[in-house]
Structure 1
């Protein structure tokens, strides 16, 4: 299949690697030095747990033109970058789009795409279960088995057959979610709280592990976040996630302390701008729900102090 991966960061690079290995005709949209690097060296991945390095040649484009047509376009970006590419996607004739990553406004983005496009668009949202960071000579990938969670906002994905064909010859797993919009909103709660910990301690993970009060407050703040979603009528998906965090706070605190002591915690890039934007969205939902969130507000206050000190 003819596929475009729009975005050549850590997750976009890994997705392109998986699709290339599956026998697809893959292009990657990148710009600047990253585009030059991909054209020169290909996609160079260091697989952390598998202890191997892979290199894949890939076709690189720097812009998506109106005449470029793909069977599938995977847009792999930070939440703060999605808005800028929506007009470009709307003007392109490719029908099948998957927006992959943290997203607090999936419904609004879908509506904007559908309203501004002159041709039919079939849209899904996804989240890739992997992480990593860019290093000077390669991209470090932290993963188990490659997997993406996928779903539509109005029932099953209408181009599921095309997705199945694209991944048929890969070792990559697709897991379909019935209510992807709710899943994305639920996912923001732990993502924002956990990224807040590292931001507050400037990426010093051992300092996070030693700050028991901060970890305790973050776990309580997650419970507050889930209460906000419930109040707004958002289903808790997966239900087990909220249940464990609420009922087993000390166990979760212990896990987070251990995680921040492990080397793998220092090998996953985070974006302060993305975390800040997602945090603002959670604050907005909290006001809509008229729910008190004192622990989350304290974490947010400390994040704002970090920003002010930049």
Structure 2
């Protein structure tokens, strides 16, 4: 398949790597220094846990022209950056688009693409579970043997999902489909926003944060409170076991979180290096809008966001 990966950060670079090894013709859209790196050295990825480095040759473009037609376009970037690329995607003649990453407004994005395109746009949303950072011209990727990739539509079955299945064939992705990715994405960001505050509270010293029981309990309470905000607004927590994790299995969740913060791998996953501050700010604004819409107070979120560790 002829596939464009629109975005060349950590997630886009790993996706391109897998798509190349799946036998697809892959083009990456990149700009500036990243485009130069890809053209000169290829898509270089250090697989952190696997102790190996891969280099894949990919086509590189700087802009998406209306007449450039691909079988499938994956748009992989940080949530605040999506809005700027929607006009180019809408003007393009390609019909199948997957928007991948944290996202607080998938319904609005799909509506824009379908309302402003000269062709019928089929739009899906997706998320892949891995972490990493860019450094010295390469991507450092932290993942397990299999990377879970969830995707789906917005309350309807994806009748064109075979296009996505074909693109991911022969890759190492473990795919899971959800009917309503809007609910999945909102459930996801009410989980990651409190977790992100751990690093912020201790200026990145997660080893010290692991010993702060008060902070970790605030995090769990805030996640539970976030679930209540979503429910008040008419959303279903997706997947359902996410809500059980902070209520029925709270003690286990606390212990697992403490262990994660105490290990080098866990500290990388939740570190400032692997998290975009601008994305967290944008997602928090989206959460604040949900609070206002549901007319809900969130005392636990307030405690967490104003938390100062005892010296």
**What TM-score range do you get, normalising by the shorter chain?**
over 0.9
1:302, CA displacement in angstroms?
Answer: 5.2
Find the residue that maps to 2:210 and give its secondary structure: helix
Alignment-derived partner of residue 204 in structure 2 = 203
Find the residue that maps to 1:125 and give its secondary structure: strand
Q: How does 1:56-71 map to 2 (within 5 A)?
A: 56-71=56-71
Distance in 2, matches of 1:134 and 1:261, equals 23
Q: Which runs of 5+ in 2 are unaligned?
A: none
Alignment-derived partner of residue 292 in structure 1 = 297
1:100, CA displacement in angstroms?
Answer: 0.3
| Residue 279 of structure 2 is aligned to residue 278 of structure 1 | no
1:276, CA displacement in angstroms?
Answer: 1.1
8 Å Cα contact 1:133/1:267 also seen in 2 = no
Question: What is the CA deviation profile of residues 110-158 of structure 1, one whole-angstrom value per residue up to 9, with x for unaligned ones?
Answer: 1111112122100000001111111214211111202310001141223
Distance in 1, matches of 2:159 and 2:62, equals 29
Alignment-derived partner of residue 228 in structure 1 = 229
8 Å Cα contact 1:218/1:299 also seen in 2 = yes
Distance in 2, matches of 1:81 and 1:136, equals 23
Find the residue that maps to 1:8 and give its secondary structure: coil
8 Å Cα contact 1:199/1:272 also seen in 2 = no
Distance in 2, matches of 1:81 and 1:299, equals 27
1:211, CA displacement in angstroms?
Answer: 2.3
Alignment-derived partner of residue 13 in structure 2 = 13
Question: What is the CA deviation profile of residues 47-82 of structure 1, one whole-angstrom value per residue up to 9, with x for unaligned ones?
Answer: 122222111111111111111110000000111111
Alignment-derived partner of residue 122 in structure 1 = 122
Question: What is the CA deviation profile of residues 285-304 of structure 1, one whole-angstrom value per residue up to 9, with x for unaligned ones?
Answer: 1121122210112223459x
Superposition TM-score, scaled by structure 1 size: 0.94
Find the residue that maps to 2:237 and give its secondary structure: coil
Distance in 2, matches of 1:241 and 1:107, equals 23
Q: Which runs of 5+ in 1 are unaligned?
A: 304-310
What is the aligned length? 303
Moved over 4 A (4+): none
Alignment-derived partner of residue 160 in structure 1 = 161
Structure 1 vs Structure 2 CA RMSD: 1.5
8 Å Cα contact 1:46/1:141 also seen in 2 = yes
Distance in 2, matches of 1:104 and 1:137, equals 30
1:7, CA displacement in angstroms?
Answer: 0.5
Superposition TM-score, scaled by structure 2 size: 0.93
Question: What is the CA deviation profile of residues 1-37 of structure 1, one whole-angstrom value per residue up to 9, with x for unaligned ones?
Answer: 1000001100100000000001100000111001101
8 Å Cα contact 1:10/1:141 also seen in 2 = yes
